[in-house]
Amino acid sequence: MGNIVNSKSTDNISRTNSDSDEVANENIRVNKDIKTYSLQRQESKKTFSSNDKEEALFDNKQNEVILKVDKELTQKQFDDFIARINVDNKATVFKFEAPLNVKKKSTNTLNKDAFKARSISTLTSVIEKKYKNIKELKLSFPSQSESNQEIDMEPIYSICMMLSSLKQLESLSLNFFQWGYYNSNIKTECLIVLCNAITILSPSLKSLKLDFGRWGCEKYGNLKIYTDATISCFCDMIQSLTQLRSLDINLRSWGYENYKITNQSVIQIFKSVGTLVNLVDLKINLTKWGYLNNNISETSLQDLKQYLVNLQNLKHIYLNFDLWTHLHNYKYIKEALVQLPLLEQCHIDTTEEQNEVKRLYDLINYRKKQYLMSYSMLKSGQGDYFRREILWDALRVCLNDKKQ
């Protein structure tokens, strides 16, 4: 069934590790030395190659435009890509993935000829004019260093302008990991305009992934840019997306050593998520929110059961509360999740071992087996009596699996 429950033991937390929010690349997969293009759209099939081992593929079987660079994209490579795609197109999928601020290992400096954040507006302008009919959009520009001061509100404004033209968009993924790391240019206004732009997509949007991890913080401290009011705007956006079936948000370290973010923000997040009755998949990353921040504690989760009661279609959930100083009792999480009849997979990241989390895992496993057994007995005509609520849930679970 693939259930996952993960807990971590951190008995000795020192200022040299947990207190710091070092540049991390766990969200940035760098596996290959070769930069690759994959461009697919309605044309005759061609393959292009050049001396620096770039590759572009045009495939008339797919209405897709895809570029993925594992390590670093140069400005020249970006300009060549734009020239190729700047034509009227019937693509329904557009994916662009390229890291920002990749430092040279030999000199620990940035490449002056690398693709930079200011070029994002060129890309969004092309998408806005030539790709208005896309249904799936993925833009991934994670930063790989603390040298982010050149990233300001301009690329975010250009992305918002582009989003306003994509009336048929069903799936949106934005990865701006570490844009606000050592960077005070990414202010509350950035989040407000982004939220407003995404809210406009509410009639069609079914899947949303936002990676804003490590915004507003440094290695040893927080810029204290974001507040409860910032989170409130974010939650208004979430609540408006009534058609969502999949939601994945990473707000890692926003509350780290930031007293302006309190229990109220945690409550607002789960209240807003709890209104999305069509959700099947849910991921929320609040790592370090409760670290060196006494305004965030397990009190924020005590009514979680009430907030999530309407998520009756939820099948997969991932929650990250790692490094919350004042979170020791996970019974609230267990009570909230065990009430969800279709829940199959559960992944809870915790700082310390938790029996409540382990019992939740066992409960989910046992209940699924019980439903399958009841459904099997019902089909075969065995058994004369069933508890009404078990029978109903068994039918929901098993018939739902058949649809998938």
The contacts of residue 47 (CB under 8 Å, 6+ apart) are 55, 56, 57, 58
**Prediction pTM value:** 0.81
Specify the fold of 23-213.
Answer: 3.80.10
User: Given a cut of 50, is residue 222 above it in pLDDT?
Assistant: yes
Which pLDDT score is estimated for 392?
54
pLDDT tens-place string over residues 230-273: 999 999 999 999 999 999 999 999 999 999 999 999 999 999 99
Contact 126, 87 (CB under 8 A): no
Closest CA to 321 of 287, 356, 271, 284: 287
**Top-confidence residue, 282 or 6:** 282
Burial classification of residue 176, based on how many CB atoms lie within 10 Å of its CB (0-12 exposed, 13-18 middle, 19 or more buried): buried
Residue with tokens 């309605």: 42
Amino acid symbol at 109: T
| Average confidence (pLDDT) over 268-297 | 97
CA 356 to chain centre: 26
Which tops the pLDDT comparison, 20 or 138?
A: 138
Confidence of residue 96 (pLDDT cuts 50, 70, 90): very high
Q: Which residues of the chain form CATH 3.80.10?
A: 23-213
pLDDT band for 365, please (50, 70, 90 cuts): confident
Q: Is the pLDDT of residue 59 over 60?
A: no
pLDDT for residue 219 is more than 80: yes
